[in-house]
Structure 1
């Protein structure tokens, strides 16, 4: 009987977390019916779950529209996670320093499945800038940031990703041979450069971050309007970014010999 109760409790917990996962930047307010349909569970079950989450402060419900939104406890836990997250906490001071020097937006991306996710961001103070929202997902096959992950995958897996690639701009690279060569260059030089590959008029420079494993745990990127990414600025940026990613990688436990690609500048 105790085992059954525990399984029921675990099942209810999973369903409750699934309800919270229905909310996103683009869908910050949801109706009971929308949640029920998205999770494919009965309306009565959805009602019980949302009521419990509302009572415990994880959901809030507008009394006029009857729409749900994430509650204060979600905000509180998110704030704690952001403050105590190891990689994010370690990287943020470096990101702020890079932003101060170059005044371009600095992003930290991690990989999740077939996507890279914006894990942290320090925005440029320029009015014209490139920025993302925390949690935004992007494909691995487009841009310098994605290449930081692709470059260290087996070739067969890279091809699998490239088979899904579509043209996002006139500069999106769809030629598999070209992508594989750029991956090889990134493994040798320790950085990737993108010019309007994913967003027209946007350039970016990215470098991988390692822990003791051979796969990048994250990558750091500086991006902004192509007009500001002059040859001189990009050269200085590459050197500073590689140095930053090297220092973070060593702090995360990577062997210096394994991350020697991050030493030196743009050459």
Structure 2
């Protein structure tokens, strides 16, 4: 790893939960000696990538990153940041992959990609996703703003016999997503479709939307579910990275625990 790479890697240790880091703490996090870490921080400070707070001597992200982030956001739209990951997801799972974007209290469809491996495919033909009846919507309720749940319960339309139509039913589904890290649409929007979704995050550190796979229910098995979940994680990490974010450690831990418990997945399929 080059000296420049080592210096730039220090930027990844800053987050919304850890916006300021002192020299000694940075040494422990990065696993480097004090002299090397200080030299790298000095280089980053000279470039404007970090700045030192005079009162505490701790470091925080610098103003140069704001300009770069604005350029990135202006030149690489959200849709472009998701397309390649969706294509890979559809190819790996053999099912339809799609991404959604949360704006205010509305979950919009961003883009989708159908797999060429089957002639029968799930078709995504909606612009706004019901929060209570789709895997992506349940991810939004579990990891998005708290007020979303209050919005969702005002319109619990029954799309199928599996749709949650009471606040208690919806809260149970949302709690399951919070415990596993995966949203599940168990034929809740369309009887012929089984959905799985995971959250994605952007540069703000907050929930930005979801990436999902819509499977034809007749070929959905426990084995396919395990494969989809693994591929969803890969796609979520890539889209989140392209959107300037980082997957929270707590979400990564949920995914790991869920994938390490195949019995649970088999019982819910």
Name the TM-score, length of structure 2 as normaliser.
Answer: 0.61
| Equivalent residue number for residue 191 of structure 2 | 200
| Equivalent residue number for residue 160 of structure 1 | 151
Name the CA shift for 1:261/1:159 in 2 (closer, same or farther; >3 Å). farther
| Equivalent residue number for residue 136 of structure 2 | 145
| Equivalent residue number for residue 235 of structure 1 | 226
Q: Secondary structure at the match of 1:221?
A: strand
Q: Secondary structure at the match of 1:243?
A: helix
| Equivalent residue number for residue 260 of structure 1 | 252
State whether residues 190 and 242 of structure 1, in contact with CA within 8 Å, keep that contact through their aligned partners in structure 2.
no
Question: What displacement does 1:205 show?
Answer: 0.6
Runs of 4+ in structure 1 over 6 Å off: none
Q: How many residues align?
A: 184
- 1 CA distance for matches of 2:220 and 2:247? 32
Question: What displacement does 1:212 show?
Answer: 4.0
Q: Secondary structure at the match of 1:213?
A: coil
State whether residues 250 and 256 of structure 1, in contact with CA within 8 Å, keep that contact through their aligned partners in structure 2.
no
| Equivalent residue number for residue 109 of structure 1 | 100
Question: What displacement does 1:99 show?
Answer: 1.2
| Equivalent residue number for residue 86 of structure 1 | 77
Q: Give the RMSD, CA atoms, in angstroms.
A: 2.5
Any residues of structure 2 matched to 1:2-81 within 5 Å, and which?
none
- 1 CA distance for matches of 2:104 and 2:247? 25
| Equivalent residue number for residue 123 of structure 2 | 131
Question: What displacement does 1:214 show?
Answer: 5.0
> Which protein, 1 or 2, shows the higher relative CO under an 8 Å CA cutoff with sep ≥ 6?
2
Any residues of structure 2 matched to 1:239-250 within 5 Å, and which?
239-250=230-241
- Runs of 5+ consecutive residues of structure 2 not aligned to the other structure: 1-74, 262-269
State whether residues 85 and 238 of structure 2, in contact with CA within 8 Å, keep that contact through their aligned partners in structure 1.
no
State whether residues 144 and 207 of structure 2, in contact with CA within 8 Å, keep that contact through their aligned partners in structure 1.
no
Q: Secondary structure at the match of 1:109?
A: strand
Name the CA shift for 1:256/1:215 in 2 (closer, same or farther; >3 Å). closer
State whether residues 168 and 197 of structure 1, in contact with CA within 8 Å, keep that contact through their aligned partners in structure 2.
yes
Question: What displacement does 1:244 show?
Answer: 2.1
Moved more, 248-257 or 215-224: 248-257
- 2 CA distance for matches of 1:213 and 1:177? 31
Name the TM-score, length of structure 1 as normaliser.
Answer: 0.61
Question: What displacement does 1:106 show?
Answer: 0.6
Question: What displacement does 1:258 show?
Answer: 5.5
State whether residues 170 and 197 of structure 1, in contact with CA within 8 Å, keep that contact through their aligned partners in structure 2.
yes
- Runs of 5+ consecutive residues of structure 1 not aligned to the other structure: 1-83
| Equivalent residue number for residue 3 of structure 1 | none
